[in-house]
Amino acid sequence: EAIGASWSFWEWKDFCRETPETLNGTSQWAAYGSCKTGYGGRLFNESGIDPVRHQQLGRVYARAIQGVLLSHAYNDTTKELGMRYELDPAVGGPTEIFANPAWHGDSKGKFDIRVTPAAAVDVTQDPANRRILLTAAAGA
């Protein structure tokens, strides 16, 4: 993250079934599914999505930058995103930050946003769409 590399997470399924033949065979396949890939105990539980595991993977991050990204670091303990970028008002869209208000916001789902210099961008919190928009201010 600190070097600008992206990340991903996926899980093929949460099930598999072995038989004595498949346990002793050379195939990657079980009788049902493949027990050699990720399964069970991941993002899903008996009721569906496991909210605790989902939240652990739900990081605050920049989806789009109105300029050139210089640094980006998220602290999952404090739930703080530190980001620096060179603002380019010629870029048509805003900087868009993914932030889930239920996981990363305060008790009211709001975020403490600090921008330097303060007048460089207009800040819009859009909790319904889980995002924060930073748009170059007039004259920036």
Over 70: is that where the pLDDT of 4 sits?
no
Average pLDDT for the chain: 84
**Count of CB atoms within 10 A of residue 60's CB?**
20
Q: What is the DSSP letter of 137?
A: P
Lowest mean pLDDT among 30-44, 59-73, 103-117: 30-44
Dihedral over alpha carbons 112, 116, 121, 124 (to 10 degrees): 0
Q: Which residues pair with 83 in a beta bridge?
A: 72
**Reduced to 3 states, what is the DSSP secondary structure of residue 128?**
helix
d(CA 9, CA 89): 33
Question: What token pair was written down for 9?
Answer: 């997470």
Share of the chain above pLDDT 90, in %: 41
**What's the whole-number mean pLDDT along residues 102-108?**
88
Question: By CB neighbour count within 10 A (0-12 exposed, 13-18 middle, 19+ buried), where does 24 fall?
Answer: exposed
pTM of the complete model: 0.71
pLDDT reported for residue 14: 57
